[in-house]
Amino acid sequence: MKIYIVGAVSSGKTTLARKLSEKLNIRYQSLDEVVHIPDKTNPWGNRKRQVYERDNLFYSVIQQSMWIIEDTGRPCFIEGLKVADTILLLEIPTRIRNYRIIKRWVKQRLGIEKCIYNPNFNMLK
């Protein structure tokens, strides 16, 4: 089973991916972690991987027999949409998404929620 979950920031992609992963016993991969690598020396808290590194990592994921991936729908990951058995598009009302973005930012600032970037005010904007 190959599942690709697509949606806007704070639409619930990661939450759904985690729940499906536990229920189906299939590893999930956030494609943010394929694009970015933690880097404490960078003010954002991460840096973009080189394109070849990102692509190699992505293709190693989608070549597996079962996976769950989630992303906002970046063009560099179009191949995942082509080979997925199931594509789930999450759409939620803007007011709910905005609330979730602020809630997530506060949790990340307080260290309650893990993130691969520095949750500063510019990130919130």
pLDDT at 123 over 70: no
Cα 59 to Cα 47, 56, 105, 109, 119: the distances in Å are 20, 5, 31, 33, 29
Over residues 62-74, the mean pLDDT reads 96
Whole-prediction pTM value?
A: 0.82
Q: Is 39 exposed, middle or buried (0-12, 13-18, 19+ CB in 10 A)?
A: middle
Over residues 42-46, the mean pLDDT reads 73
Which segment of 20-24, 62-66, 71-75, 99-103 scores lowest on mean pLDDT? 99-103
Superfamily in which the 2-91 domain is placed by CATH: P-loop containing nucleotide triphosphate hydrolases (3.40.50.300)
pLDDT of residue 46: 80
